[in-house]
Each structure stands twice: as structure tokens, then as C-alpha cells.
Amino acid sequence: MTAVVERDRGRRLALAMRADERLMRAVHPIGYPLLEAVPGPVRRVPGIGVVVKDAGLARQVLLDGEAFSKRGRGASSDLWTPVLGESVLVNMHGDDHRALRRRLAPIFAPAFVDPLVQAALGDGAAELERRLLAGERVDLAAHVRQAAGAAIALLVGLDRGAIDDRLFREVTAITGMVRLSRPRFTPPQVRRARAALDELAEHSAAAYRGDESTVPGRLRGLGLDEREALGAVGAFVLTGTETIVSALPRLVALLVDSGTLGELVDDERCERAIAEGLRWTTPTPVMLRATLAPRELGPLRVRAGDRIVIATYAANRAAGGFDPAGSAATGLKQLWFGAGEHFCIGAPLAMAQLRLALGALRRVEADGRRIRIVERRDARGQLLPALAECVLEARA
């Protein structure tokens, strides 16, 4: 009987992984197969750059700030500086980056983030739990978009309901313009991105001049001038909100499809499942760097000026298939959030949101229900692979 159960579990895990891979291919029908087809741990690809698909080599790049930078031709700065300005973490390097990160660190410390997430999103998580226990069907993707809207509102000092689907679509449309083969936005794309962020910037500026109950006001209290604070808020909105909208429904779909959601009976198993889910879905599937100095990357010598494309999703998945009870994620040291001085400063915020939502779903399953997905639809036209629709139902 045990062998039969194990075979069924393995079959469902395989089906869950294939479903997520189909999502990757659907959202990026050109970029995903292209990077998948690149052979070996590192390879120079004309028109793209030096593609790194090995976790050890990826970590080497991320930890070597003297040779590899977010600022330079083909790196993150080419994309985001025209939109956000010079002084935001996603396009900075060296001493200036370290100084700004130190000033921002207090608003991402768990002691600040955890109560903030509970205050902003706790009622929504409780409503998700209540509706599922009442037998209602709930679109998790829509729920997460609303939660992300609440998070954006908090960032810019708005009322929670002020960020609607229209504005959220404008924000995701900005990142949706990114292409592997195009290292920078076109002038019309820059104008469109700035127009979308200008609407938020007006509210952020007012919040900056107010008290410290909002994040912009808190940034003023930390010593950032208005330009720095508004740039930081814009970067948080662009890089943070779409990440959680992508990661959470995909993680839940993996757990539901594989039949393993009910195995998360304690916090330790939940943490392991989150790590495995983030490893497999990889919130930032590609990271970009510019080469400042020659280096050996495995068998390949890179030169100053080379564009480095770290295929983090490939590097993370090489550790093994998705298994929420497994330990494949352990040795990667959260590579999905980066490494070194550019390790994602918003990781505590993302983890707090994931724990909150999974906690609600765990309590539904603990009540003797089994959650299943009754409808799903892939998103289109955005950077991060995501489910546009993921309708859940809990049955006894």
C-alpha cells in the first residue's frame, strides 16, 4: 500500500511540475525555450550575452562586485534608470548602493514588515479563509492582485482600495515591455512607464511630506530626500508587487496539483514548502549584470563589457524536481532572491505575505477540507510568469 501511495504522490508531483512548465512556456513562448536550449553551465549567445545556468557560477557572479555590476551596458541600469532615476537600488553599484541599502534596511526588517503585512493584508487573508470554508469559489489570482494593490497603496500613502485593476495593469505593463534581446526601453516605452508611475508619484510626494505612518513618510524620517524616496517607492512597486502576484498562485497551484498542501501541518514544513516553491517558480527568472573586469566563469573567459544573463530559474531547477517535503532548496541559500550585497531587500516582505496566505489555506485543509483548482488561466504580456486566474474550491 505504501508503494502505491508513493507512486501516486510521485505522479502528482510530476504533473504539477509539468503544469508550471507549461505556464512558463505560455507566458514566454520565445525567451523560455531559447534559454532552455542553451547547453552547458555557461555559454556565450550572440544577441543575448553570456548565459549562466549553473547555481555555483551564478553565485560567483552575484558575489563578485568588483567584476560584475548592475550598472553598465546591458545591465539593470539600462532598463530602469530612464524610468526611475539614478538612485534606486535596482540600478546602483558600489558604495552608493551600500549606503542607500543601509538607510532603507529598517523598513524591511521583519520587526517592521510582519506587523505591517498583518495590518494591511490580514483581513483579506481571513476573508479568503472564511469564503473557502463557506464553500465559495475564490479566485486566488484576483485575491493576490487585490493584496498587491493594498501593498502598493501602503507604499504610496493611499487608501487601501485606491489601487484598482486598471492601475495594476499599468504597472505590470511596464515590466511586460522587458525583452531578453532588448537591453533597454525605447523612448516611447520610457514615456509610457513614467506616465504610469507619475500617478503614484503624486500621492507618494504628498505622503512624503506627511507623518511617518506611510512608507514615504518613513523614508523621509530615515533621511532620504524626496527624489530618493520617490525613486525607491517606484522601484518597490515595479519589482515587488508583480513578484508576489506571480509567486503565490504558482506555489499554491504546485501544492494543490501535487496533493501536498495538506502535508503542511506545522510551520517548519510550511517554510520548507515555501523555499521549494520559490526555488521552482523563481520570482526573478533572469538577473542581469554588466562585466567590469575579465573573469573566468567555468570554462569561459568573460571580458569587460560583456552582458551577463543569469538564468536563475534554470540554475534553481537544476537542483531537482519540486518536492515540498524535500531539501533541494537548502543548498541554494535562497538564490532566487539573489546573493551578496544585492540580495533582495524586500525578501522579508515577500516571505511575510506568503506565510500569511498559506496560513489561511493550511487552516482550511486542517478543518477537514481539500482545496482544488476548478479553473485556471495563464497571464499574458508580462515579465513574470503568472496565473491570470486560479479559482479555488474547498470540499469536505
Residue 350 backbone phi and psi in degrees, to 5:
-60, -45
Q: Residue 91 and residue 77: Cα distance in Å, rounded?
A: 4
In this predicted structure, what is the pLDDT of residue 352? 92
Q: Residue 53 and residue 86: Cα distance in Å, rounded?
A: 29
CB 207 within 8 Å of CB 216: yes
In this predicted structure, what is the pLDDT of residue 161? 61
In this predicted structure, what is the pLDDT of residue 192? 86
**β-sheet bridge partners, residue 378:** 387
Which residues are CB-contacts of 96 (< 8 A; sequence separation ≥ 6)?
A: 87
Give the residue carrying C-alpha cell 502528482.
12
The pTM assigned to this predicted structure is 0.91
For residue 370, give the H/E element and its range.
strand 370-378
Q: Residue 251 and residue 261: Cα distance in Å, rounded?
A: 10
CB 272 within 8 Å of CB 325: yes
Q: Residue 287 and residue 283: Cα distance in Å, rounded?
A: 11
Q: Residue 187 and residue 82: Cα distance in Å, rounded?
A: 9
Question: Is residue 206 packed enough to be buried (19+ CB in 10 Å), middle (13-18) or exposed (0-12)?
Answer: middle
Looking from the CA of 310 toward its CB, the CA atoms found within 13 Å total 31
Q: Residue 393 and residue 396: Cα distance in Å, rounded?
A: 10
Task: Report pLDDT digits (tens) over 223-235.
Answer: 888 888 888 888 8
Q: Hey, what domains does the chain have and what are their CATH numbers? A: 2-395 (1.10.630.10)
**β-sheet bridge partners, residue 138:** 392
Q: Please name which of 256, 243, 271, 278 lies closest in space to residue 361, comparing C-alpha atoms.
A: 256
The stretches in the chain having pLDDT less than 50 are 1
Q: Please name which of 150, 149, 201, 197 lies closest in space to residue 170, comparing C-alpha atoms.
A: 197
In this predicted structure, what is the pLDDT of residue 106? 85
CB 289 within 8 Å of CB 308: yes
Task: Report pLDDT digits (tens) over 81-91.
Answer: 888 887 788 88
Which residues are CB-contacts of 208 (< 8 A; sequence separation ≥ 6)?
A: 157, 216, 217, 219, 220, 226, 229, 230
